[in-house]
Chain A
Amino acid sequence: MKTVRKVLAFIFLSFICIISLVPFIWVMFSSFKTNSEILSGTVGLPTGFHISNYVTAFKLAPIGTFYINSILVALFATVLNLIICSLAAYVVVRCQFKAKGIITLMFSLGLIIPGAALIQPLYTILSGAHLYNTLSGLVLVYTALGMPTTFYVMVSYIKTIPYSLEEAAYIDGSGFVRTFLQVVLPITRPAFATAGVIQFLFAWNEFQFALTLTGETGKRTLPIALYYFKSAFASDYGAMFAATVVVAIPSIITFIILQKQVVAGLAAGSVKG
């Protein structure tokens, strides 16, 4: 009985690993094949490392530009999101004021709104504010959509910091802002790391608003590159494979390197659900 269960567990876990890894590995191998190889032999290894697909991919779609856009948008959306949420979370935890309930509600409201509902309204609002088809527009949207998670992570973390530290700073004559900057922020670093990684990955991977809030190629982010291939260059399979690998790799590497932060962030961020 026990061995049967062990064997079943082994088979099940192997199956899980296969379905998670094999599609990606197959696409990676295929990205080094020539178009004719792709069309004939479907399962086998490539005959050699043809990096020509990558060259074509970068030529067909301005992947370089997309990359830079993605990095800029994700970076600014993360920094802005962390600043805004840490400020708000700090006063919500440490200060007394009437609107506290409303503020907390406001920061978590984003959770119950599926992004798809906002496609048209955000398109209208950003157009009206002359932010349609700009990277700044995307940065603002991502910053706002990421607020619930970051706010929650920050609030839970700041709650664990003993107030005596700040009290000591006040007694030493430090002001409100200085205490926040010099006493609280340094201790809150782990929360910044956790929330920051999650926010960065969210902004890096986001597709829907990147598609609907930008119009021209020069302003688009990496996930849109794939849509570009699907609609415009669907016959150049090799380049399509190469583009998929180029888009997927950074997220995978980020996750493997920062696994601890990602897991902590997901665990903390999910509780609010």
Chain B
Amino acid sequence: MKKNTKWVVLFLLPGVLLFSFILLSSLFVLTGSSFTDWFIGSKITFVGLKNYIYLFTKDKVFIESIKNTLIWIGLQSTIHVTIGVIVALLLSKKKWYSSAVRTIFFIPNIISSAALGMLFLCVMNPQFGLINGLVSRITGDRFVQNWYNDPKTAFLSVTLTWLPYAGLVTILVMAEMSAISEELFEAAKIDGATSFQIDMQIILPLMKNIIGTCVVLAATSMLQKLDVIMMTTSGGPGSRTMNMPMYIYKTVFSNNNYSLANTQGVILIVLGVVVLKIIRKVFGMDKED
């Protein structure tokens, strides 16, 4: 270990400057303005907790956006992760198609979410979309839907743009699996364990940490889903598919109410920290490090 104060400072400086300029000052503006009234072009006045009280007691759209965000977090951290883990277990049996399936499954995750949103906007289009095309061929026009604009189907349609696409979970779990020593499997096979027993009783327990990580990633990704929603429903119909990022965006750019948007931002960050704590507790991830 070298002591080299001058170089330490110089090496850290760019990072510290950028952090202060982009993140620290943002957090400062965010938290500070949440206690004020601040519209586009208006003077900033201190109002205490008014924004927080307003959001939780009067703003129905905000309540719905929290509710939707929480439902999506719940679905994503359970069903989505489960799908990814099952695919990883199936592909771990090293078949000729394993790496091809893994690659294909990851495609929806690797393209820009704006492109994914657009893809689904086209696929679900009521006039010429693939889904309605298939539905009407099979059942006639009875089940044809205006997927994104009908209040009955909008929530489900938006959910389906991310829920099944767990390629990232699969990749992460498979990367962790490749670290398990072969001897363990050999020993289990000699003892007469079936491959299902090996999956359930040997692999899964060893995957606990990475699955916890995947749950964290899946849950927190739901705190930043703006692009797909913006490309498909913009939170509608009404506020049926409104989530917190989308409502923040609307509050800033449609209502020009900066302080209210930033209050939502603070709540979003706090919610994120709480969700993270809960997941880490459930998976016993706090003990390590």
Mark A residues whose CB is within 8 Å of B. Answer: 5, 9, 12-13, 16-17, 19-24, 26-27, 30, 38-39, 42-43, 83-85, 87-88, 90-91, 94-97, 103, 106-107, 109-110, 112-125, 129, 140-141, 143-145, 147, 151, 170, 176-177, 201, 204-208, 211-212, 222-224, 226-227, 229-230, 237, 240-241, 243-244, 247-248, 251-252, 254-256, 259, 262-264, 266-267, 270-271, 273
The secondary structure that dominates the A interface is helix
Residue on B with the closest CB to A229? B118
In the complex, are the beta carbons of A270 and B30 less than 8 A apart?
no
Complex interface residues of chain B between 75 and 127 (CB less than 8 A to chain A):
83, 86-87, 90-91, 97, 101, 103-108, 110-115, 117-123, 127
> Assuming A23-B119, A117-B266, A230-B118, is B104 touching A17 (CB within 8 A)?
yes
**B226–A147 touching, CB < 8 Å:** no
Q: How far is the CB of B238 from chain A (nearest CB, A)?
A: 20
Is B224 touching A256 in the complex (CB atoms < 8 A)? no
CB neighbours (8 Å) of B104 from chain A are 16-17, 20-21
Complex Cα spacing A23 to B8, Å: 51
Task: From B87, B110, B172, give the contact of A13 (CB < 8 A).
Answer: B87
Could you say which of B11, B223, B245, B248 contacts A88, with CB atoms under 8 Å apart?
A: B11
CB–CB B269/A266 < 8 A: no
Q: Bin the interface of chain B by size.
A: 35 or more
Q: Are A20 and B112 in contact (CB under 8 A)?
A: no
- Please determine whether B19 and A115 come into contact, CB atoms closer than 8 angstroms: no
Query: What is the distance, in angstroms, from A183's C-beta to the closest C-beta of chain B?
Result: 13
With CB as the reference atom, state the residue of chain A lying closest to B136: A42
A176 and B1 alpha carbons, distance in the complex (Å) = 12
Are A124 and B128 neighbours in the complex by a CB distance under 8 Å? Answer: no
Q: Compute how far the CA of A207 lies from the CA of B113 in the bound complex, rounded to whole angstroms.
A: 8
B196: A residues at CB distance < 8 A: 5
Give the residues in chain B near A227, CB-CB below 8 Å: 114, 230-231
| Complexed CA–CA distance, A30 and B120 (Å) | 13
Residues B165 and A20 in contact, CB atoms below 8 Å apart:
yes
A144-B23 CB under 8 A given contacts A42-B130, A120-B258, A252-B107? yes
Residue of A nearest to B170 (CB): A16
CB distance from A135 to the nearest CB of B (A): 15
Q: Is B235 an interface residue (CB 8 A)?
A: no
Contact residue among A26, A123, A143, A204 (Cβ-Cβ distance under 8 Å from B123): A26
